C-alpha cells in the first residue's frame, strides 16, 4: 500500500491496531462528510472503529480497494466516480445493488467482497423522516444516470401512484423504464419516461407532481434542468422538491420555492445512506442506538 496516498488520509489499517478500519473512497474526497458521520454513529453505538478517506487515482480504484482490504480494512463506502468500479470489484452483489447498477458500500467476509447500494434506501428514509408521503404519490425523477438508477427500486417499493423518469434524451430514460418494468408492475406503479422538453408541454404533462427529485448534477454548476415553462407545469404549492446535491439552495430548489413548494437538499440522504452502511457493517441490532436525524441536525448547524 503506497504510504503517500493512504497514511496521509488516515486509512492504512495497519496503523490502527485493535480497531476495525473503514474508509470512504472517491476522487476528490477531501470534502467528504462521511468520516464525521460515521464517527458520530460509532460514538452513539459505542463501537471501536476508525473511518478514514481514500483517494485512488482515477484508473486504480480496484488496486487501492484490494490493498485496503488486504491490509485488514473491514468496509468501504464508495462515491463519485468509482461506484461502477466498486460493482465490478465485488464478488457478491445484493439484489438492490444489481438493480441499482452501482455499488456504494463494500465489506469483506471470509475472503469475499460484498457490494450493496444504500443510496435509494437513504433517500426514501430521508423523505419519510421529512413527512413526505410516498405511497400513492405522483413522483417525477429528473435524470437517468447512475444517481437516478440507484434510487428507482426503493422508490417503487413505496408504491407511489406514478413514477415518471425525465431526461434530456429519452433513450436512457426508456432503458430504465424497461429495466424496472417488472418491479413497477408488481407494485402497481405507472412507470413512464419523458423528455425534459415534454415537461413543458401541458398536453403531455397535465398534472403537477407531489414530489420532484433532481438526480442530475446541474445543481453543482448553479444550473437547473428545468425551463420556466416546465416549472409551471410540474410544481404546485403542495409539491416537495428534493435535490440530491447538498450544502446549498440550488437553482432547481429556487424554482420550486418561487412556485410555493417546499424544498430539501440531499444532506439527509447522505446521512441516511451512511446509517444503512454502518448497520450492514456493525449489525442491524444497532439501529435502535444510532440517531441519524441527530447527526443530520449537527451537520446542518
Catalytic residues: 83
Strands (E), 138-209: 138-142, 162-167, 190-195
Locate cell 419523458: which residue?
A: 194
What would the grid cell of residue 227 be?
A: 425551463
Contact 105, 115 (CB under 8 A): yes
Stretch (H or E) spanning 253: helix 251-258
Residue-wise burial string across 179-207, b where 16 or more C-beta atoms lie within 10 A, e elsewhere: bbeeebeebebebebbbbebbbeeeebee
CA distances from 251 to 219, 234, 254 (A): 6, 15, 5
Reply yes or no: is the peptide bond before residue 28 cis, omega within 30 of 0. yes
Residue-wise burial string across 269-290, b where 16 or more C-beta atoms lie within 10 A, e elsewhere: bbbbbbbbbbbbbbeeebeeeb
Amino acid at each position: 500500500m503506497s504510504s503517500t496516498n493512504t497514511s496521509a488520509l488516515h486509512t492504512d489499517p495497519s496503523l490502527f491496531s485493535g480497531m476495525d478500519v473503514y474508509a470512504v473512497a472517491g476522487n476528490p474526497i477531501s470534502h467528504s462528510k462521511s468520516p464525521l458521520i460515521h464517527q458520530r454513529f460509532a460514538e452513539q453505538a459505542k463501537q471501536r472503529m476508525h473511518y478514514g478517506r481514500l483517494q485512488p487515482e482515477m484508473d486504480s480504484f480496484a488496486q487501492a480497494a484490494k490493498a485496503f482490504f488486504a491490509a485488514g480494512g473491514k468496509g468501504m463506502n464508495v462515491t463519485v466516480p468509482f461506484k461502477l468500479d466498486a460493482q465490478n470489484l465485488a464478488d457478491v452483489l445484493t439484489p438492490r445493488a444489481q438493480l441499482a447498477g452501482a455499488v456504494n458500500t463494500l465489506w469483506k467476509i471470509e475472503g469475499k467482497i460484498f457490494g450493496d447500494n444504500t443510496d435509494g434506501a437513504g433517500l426514501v428514509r430521508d423523505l419519510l423522516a421529512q413527512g413526505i408521503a410516498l405511497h400513492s404519490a405522483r413522483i417525477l425523477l429528473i435524470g437517468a444516470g447512475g444517481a437516478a438508477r440507484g434510487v428507482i427500486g426503493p422508490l417503487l417499493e413505496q408504491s407511489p401512484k406514478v413514477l415518471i423518469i425525465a431526461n434530456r434524451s429519452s433513450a436512457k430514460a426508456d432503458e430504465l423504464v424497461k429495466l424496472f418494468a417488472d418491479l413497477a408492475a408488481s407494485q402497481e406503479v405507472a412507470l413512464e419516461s419523458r423528455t425534459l422538453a415534454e415537461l413543458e408541454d401541458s398536453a403531455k404533462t397535465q398534472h403537477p407532481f407531489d414530489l420532484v427529485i433532481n438526480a442530475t448534477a446541474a445543481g453543482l454548476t448553479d444550473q437547473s434542468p428545468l425551463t420556466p415553462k416546465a416549472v409551471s407545469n410540474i410544481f404546485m404549492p403542495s409539491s416537495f422538491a428534493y435535490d440530491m446535491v447538498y450544502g446549498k439552495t440550488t437553482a432547481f430548489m429556487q424554482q420550486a420555492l418561487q412556485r410555493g413548494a417546499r424544498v430539501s437538499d440531499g444532506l439527509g440522504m447522505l446521512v441516511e445512506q451512511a446509517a444503512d452502511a454502518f448497520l450492514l457493517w456493525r449489525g442491524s441490532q444497532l439501529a435502535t442506538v444510532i440517531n441519524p436525524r441527530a447527526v443530520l441536525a449537527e451537520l446542518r448547524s
